[in-house]
Amino acid sequence: MRPWDWVVLVITVVAIVAYGLWKSRDSNTTDKYLRAGKSMPWYAMALSIMATQASAITFISTTGQGYVDGMRFVQFYFGLPIAMVILSMTAVPIFHKANVYTAYEYLENRFDAKTRTLVSIIFLIQRGLAVGLALSAPAIVLTVILGWPDEWTTIAMGIVVVGYTVLGGVQAVTWTDFQQMLIMMAGLAATLAMAIWLLPDNIGLTGALTVAGAAGKLNPVTTAFSWNDRYNLWSGLFGGTFLALSYFGCDQSQVQRYLTGSSIAQSRLSLLFNAVAKIPMQFLILLTGAVVFAFFTFVQAPILFQREDMANLRKDPKYGVLQQTYDRAFTERRDAAERLTAGDESAKAAYVQSQQKIDQVRKEASAITKSNDTNYVFLHFVTHYLPEGIVGIIIAAILAAAMSTISGEINSLATVSVIDIYKRVSSAGTDAHYLLVSRLATAFWGVYAVVTARFAKNMGSLVEAVNLLGSFFYGGILGVFALAMYFPSVNATGAFVGVLVGEAVIFALHFTGATSFLWYNVIGCVVVIVTGVAVSSVTHTRTN
Amino acid sequence: MSHEDPPPFLGTWPRLYVAVLIYLVILIGVFHAFTRAWR
């Protein structure tokens, strides 16, 4: 980090936090603190929804995913527009008319207190685990750039985010998200533009696409079906729809964003904006990863991108042989790529062969160091090749992404803790009392996030870890909401037993390795519905 | 805006929903063509 990078970074972070706190200066009631007094316009909610989902992991890990695995990950989002339409038609009017603070309040209206409590606790466990992952990603950024220990970077990030979330509540979260999303878009555009600009003169974007395409990186649609293939058109459309329905319809960290809307129409528009904008955004992020791959076809990268892992590799007896093989394969690949971009199709076989050698060397190096450096590809590119000032914008964008996700998550965790758990136990307090408890709960979850982030660093590709974690619980939660909204004959016992059986099946699927995690949502949801309907038909007591 | 206000585009909500789904189909088609072009 050079002086202008620091200037850009510090001004951006201070301005965003100050703006959020200024916009939320009237958060002096529980309703305003947790629901913004239902006053938010659609564009603020739309960018807040997008920013909450687009964490630092999106920048760091998704670009790495594009580099390592190609663009097929974008199919994961194909179900999102379908889910947004379904939610706009059903969940949005239901939640608005029920005038709830959390999605889980609706479950008590429809079923009973124990179902609401069970689903609230599942949310607290799942989102509580994910918030640590979300905080660990920016800690990786700061550690790589500043060389500070993980503990310091995690605590520094935690203090900033928890500070403005405790003070300003959901209004501070939404308005900072709004600004943070704009910074993210600027950072994304700057990165892609710079990645293209830095390509050798005779290569250009077309040459980069030729090289990345020949390596199998430009594959945003793969139609071959397999139950164990994580990302293809079918798992994206079906599994992705169920996952997006669960995340945007049943996860309080997202539901809370559009519950702040001033009307059903405003909330619907915020979701439909995401339906249109999300996939192109992910496409551009993955394309950036693919262009970075093309860049490193002509400029030699280290075997491993993480500095510490590379240092450890150098100490290994096998390092000399690996480095020699890597150097030779790089030269062969670069020569073949130059012929390929000049129109010589016969160079493709040599190019693919040398690429396989490089992949094999990286695989062996990762096995030696017991590391996964997918998350470090993008950071290595940014910090080693981009000019002063631009690095500051991109680091600001990554930190903005991180702050938006963490603030939304701890805000929603606090809301569920207070509304669905605490207020049920202690219902006689004044509004000022619940406002104070909400602030304390926000602070508690912030501290919890800082502590758990310490354990999340070595979980492989963070973006996959987060999605895998969500898939353990989303199918069950979606199933119970589907029962509540679309199966009027199902009673509370059926819903409760359905959730328990659904979760048991999902965990059984995971531990037997029967299918890819995207299908957990579909299968879990179906099991909950079938069990709920069956148990209700046996017990015959409809609860309404 | 009242609770049942129409959307700012296309007149009714169902039309807007259909437009979003058509957009998805076009997007997948474009991505498929992109995949084939650079394979």
In whole numbers, what is the pLDDT of chain B averaged over residues? 88
pLDDT at site A542:
47
- Give the Cα separation of B35 and B39 in Å (integer): 6
Closest alpha carbon within chain A to B33: A221
Distance of alpha carbon A532 from alpha carbon A535, whole angstroms:
5
Give SS3 for A428: coil
pLDDT grade, residue A417 (50/70/90)? Answer: very high
- pLDDT tens figures, A133-182: 778 777 777 777 777 777 788 888 888 888 888 888 888 888 888 888 88
The answer to whether the CB of A404 falls within 8 A of the CB of A46 is no
Distance CA A475, CA A449 (A): 24
pLDDT band for position A395 (cuts 50, 70, 90)? confident
Of B1, B20, B23, the CB nearest to A266: B1
- Domain boundaries for CATH 1.20.1730.10 within chain A: 3-296+383-424+433-539
- Distance, C-alpha A47 to centroid of its chain: 15
Q: Average pLDDT over chain A, rounded to whole?
A: 86
Query: What percent of chain B is helix, strand and coil (3-state, nearest 5)?
Result: 65, 0, 35
Q: State the average pLDDT over residues B1-13.
A: 77
Per the CB < 8 Å rule, is A210 touching B35?
no
**Is the domain A3-296+383-424+433-539 a CATH 1.10.3720.10 member?**
no
pLDDT in tens, A20-53: 888 888 888 999 999 888 889 999 999 989 888 8
Tokens of A67: 């580099």
Structure-block tokens of residue A391:
């690095």
What pLDDT, on the 0 to 100 scale, is given for residue A126? Answer: 82
8 Å CB contact of A88 and B27? no
Contact A265 B28 (CB under 8 A): no
Q: What is the mean pLDDT of residues A116-129?
A: 88
List residues of A whose CB lies inside 8 A of any B CB. Answer: 74, 78, 81-82, 84-85, 88-89, 93, 96-97, 209-210, 212-213, 218-223, 233, 262-266, 268-269, 272, 275-276, 279-280, 283
Q: How far apart are CA B2 and CA B11, in angstroms?
A: 15
Residue B10 at interface with chain A, using a CB cutoff of 8 Å: no
Q: Which amino acid is at A236?
A: G
Residue A141 contacts residue A379 (beta carbons within 8 Å): yes
**Structural Rg of chain A based on CA atoms:** 24
Confidence of residue B28 (pLDDT cuts 50, 70, 90): very high
The residue of chain A with its CA nearest to that of B17 is A85
DSSP letters of A358-381?
HHHHHHHHHHHHT--GGGGHHHHH
- Reported confidence tier of residue A466, pLDDT bands at 50, 70, 90: low
**Which residues are CB-contacts of A425 (< 8 A; sequence separation ≥ 6)?**
none
**Cα–Cα–Cα angle for A270, A271, A273, rounded to 5 degrees:** 65
| φ, ψ for residue A261, nearest 5 deg | -65, 150
Q: Do B13 and A268 touch (CB under 8 A)?
A: yes
> From the centroid of its chain, how far is CA A330?
33
Which burial class, exposed, middle or buried, applies to A464 when counting CB atoms under 10 A from its CB (0-12, 13-18, 19+)? buried
Give me A11's structure tokens: 């001004």
Task: Please tell me if residue B4 touches chain A, with a CB cutoff of 8 Å.
Answer: yes
DSSP β-bridge partners for residue A261: A40
User: What CA–CA distance (Å, rounded) separates A206 from A188?
Assistant: 20
pLDDT band at B13 (very low <50, low <70, confident <90, very high): very high
Residues 6+ apart with CB under 8 A from A188: A59, A281, A284, A285, A288, A397
Q: How many residues are recorded in chain A?
A: 544
ipTM of the complex: 0.93
* Chain A interface includes B1 (CB < 8 A): yes
**A249: its two tokens:** 């319809």
